[in-house]
Structure 1
Amino acid sequence: MRWVAGTLAVLVSITAPNIAAGQAPPLWATVPEVPALPRPERTGFVDHDGARLYFAVFNRNGGSPVLLLHGGLASSESWGFAVPQLAKTHEVIVMDTRGHGRSTIGPAPLSYRRFASDAIVVLDATGVRKASVVGLSDGGVTGLILAIDHPERVDRLFVWGANFNTHAETTVPPDPAMKGMGAVFMARMEAQYRALSPTPDGFKALRAALADLYEKEPDLAPAELGAIRARTVVADGAHEQFIAAAHTEMLAHLIPGAKLVILPDVSHGGPQQAPAAFHAAVTELLDQPE
């Protein structure tokens, strides 16, 4: 998930939930465990722009292709809820963003357009000319750029918890029930990174590289968003803690014909907090007739 610069340090410093003893936190204040991915039909690596990128394919040639793009600090393992459901009717491709999971970071600074270029190379490696894109947070920003720069490669676009510029942060103080979420998430992501990465001690460097990215990007102009022609859903949780609701609404407004979907009872981690509701929102887009 995307942790904006400045917010990240605050979240990591919080260590204990402010929930009365014996009282379960609300759904939107939880960080659920994600089940393991099913066994893919194909895995591989592709070299691009100084990085070695990991990808996996499920239900190959089993339906219209869907590319899943995870959020910042995470990996393709974050799709443990989504892949088994989507792969029933679609070919599903996952990848680890450069610097994340099994993918190396490369020598160049991180950028969303570099991420988008990586995604095109993965599609090429899997023989997919056009796919629907489902992106979470940073993956959602990458999805926007794919639809802008490579419209011929994007069928439909679903973005969750994405921002289009660096002025998206909410000014609403976080609910006390959310205290401790950042520390739980960060500990899990570091453990996952150590288990998957070819540079297991590089998590601190990844965090620094992402902080540098978030200082400058994304920086998408309204005219760029207005040029998107893919059928699009802009989605988020009603309790989103990082991005202002008005920013999400503006993103949907700027993309021609985009639909705004706000899931109740969840926050930025909604795809894991309410996977059935998230899947229903995604498939409503993917399964619409042309």
Structure 2
Amino acid sequence: MAAVLKIFCALLLLSAAPARAAERWQELPEPAPLPQAAKTGKAPVNGIELYYAIYGSGPPVLLIHGGLGYSEVWGAQVADLSRDHTVIVADSRGHGRSTRNAEPYSYDLMSSDYLALLDYLKIEKTALVGWSDGGIIGLDIAIHHPERLTKLFAQAANSKVDGVIPTVMEDKIFAAYIEKAGEVYNKISPTPTEYDAFVTQISNMWASQPNWSDNDLKKITTPTAIVLGDHDEAISRKHTDYLAKTIPGAKLMILENTSHFAMLQDPEGYNKTVREFIDQ
């Protein structure tokens, strides 16, 4: 699966016109560098080692990256939020510096990883900012363990497989992200030669999950923001509107002139939007 993705990405990127992108949503900037962490480590959770880093002090906020991603994508957000928050980032199981095992991926399992990390760090409740798979993990925790969350900022999340835009794999920016994710994996993963196996394992989850009912979403009592870039390549606006209407009291927030990678394309605007929600 990963080998096919690499070939597809290479062909797609070679076919791209050399002209510079006209809009910021057509670009994939490098993440801002992370500041110096107050603490880093690997938490033993659910049979794996989950890499984490902690920054700043104040009310806690947990940032969860998307599929194939890594904690460094949050560089600009960590630098801003750590001025007055305890910011926790981690690499999800099998991603970045974290290990994985043979257990099949599921959003329930990944949520359990993060809840176990919070227990390990002795954090009872936190605000959660989740992007893509991170937003889905946030929804899972809000449905099943609302007592652990103060706020949920879920960007580019879906509650059903059909919330994903079918043409996402034809998008050049998304292809560039997949290529970059593979490069980073090779550099920092404890199993750098197992990218294909990792992608195959997590792809099995994506094929059928998430799959929550309206009633599941209506159980959510955590104050929730449903967030989407107005040019998101992966998640449809129709599905995003559905989430905002179905989750009780949810706030719909649309990020202008950004795509699935809004935190990289407009970090200042993204940080402002996060703060407007989690600090109110």
- Flag the structure with higher helix content: 2
Deviations 1:66-119 (Å, cap 9, x if unpaired)?
000000001111111110000011100011100001111122011111110001
Determine which of 8, 13, 16 is the counterpart of 2:14: 16
2:21–2:27 contact (8 Å) kept in structure 1: no
Q: What corresponds to 1:51 in structure 2?
A: 48
Q: Give the structure 2 partner of residue 31 of structure 1.
A: 28
Partner residue of 1:3? Answer: none
1:55 alignment partner AA? Y
Counterpart residue number, 1:147: 142
Question: Deviating runs (4+, > 3 A) in structure 1?
Answer: 6-13, 16-19, 21-25
Aligned partner of 2:234 among 225, 242, 248: 242
Kindly tell me the number of residue pairs found equivalent between the two proteins: 276
Match of 1:40 among 37, 40, 43: 37
Kindly report which structure 2 residues correspond to 1:208-287, keeping only aligned pairs within 5 A, or say none: 208-287=200-279
CA RMSD of aligned residues (A): 2.0
CA distance in 2, matches of 1:259, 1:7: 35
Question: Cα deviations across residues 196-230 of structure 1 (Å, max 9, x unaligned)?
Answer: 11101111112111211111100111111111111
Q: CA 1:275–1:153 in structure 2 vs 1: closer, same or farther (change >3 Å)?
A: same
**Which residue is equivalent to 1:95?**
90
Within a 5 Å distance, the mapping from 1:118-133 to structure 2 comes to 118-133=113-128
What fraction of aligned residue pairs are identical, expressed as a percent?
36
Matches of 1:196 and 1:8, distance apart in 2: 18
Question: 1:141–1:12: structure 2 CA closer, same or farther, 3 Å change rule?
Answer: farther
Mind listing any 5+ residue stretches in structure 2 that lack a counterpart? none
- Structure 2 counterpart of 1:85, which letter? D
Residues 157-196 of structure 1 mapped to structure 2, 5 A cutoff: 157-170=152-165, 180-196=172-188
Letter in 1 for 2:32: P
**How many angstroms does 1:131 deviate by?**
0.1
CA spacing shift, 1:124–1:32, aligned 2, 3 Å: same
Gaps of 5+ in 1: 1-5
8 Å CA contact 1:113–1:145 kept in 2: the answer is yes
Distance (whole Å) between structure 2 residues aligned to residue 148 and residue 134 of structure 1: 15
* TM-score w.r.t. length of structure 1: 0.90
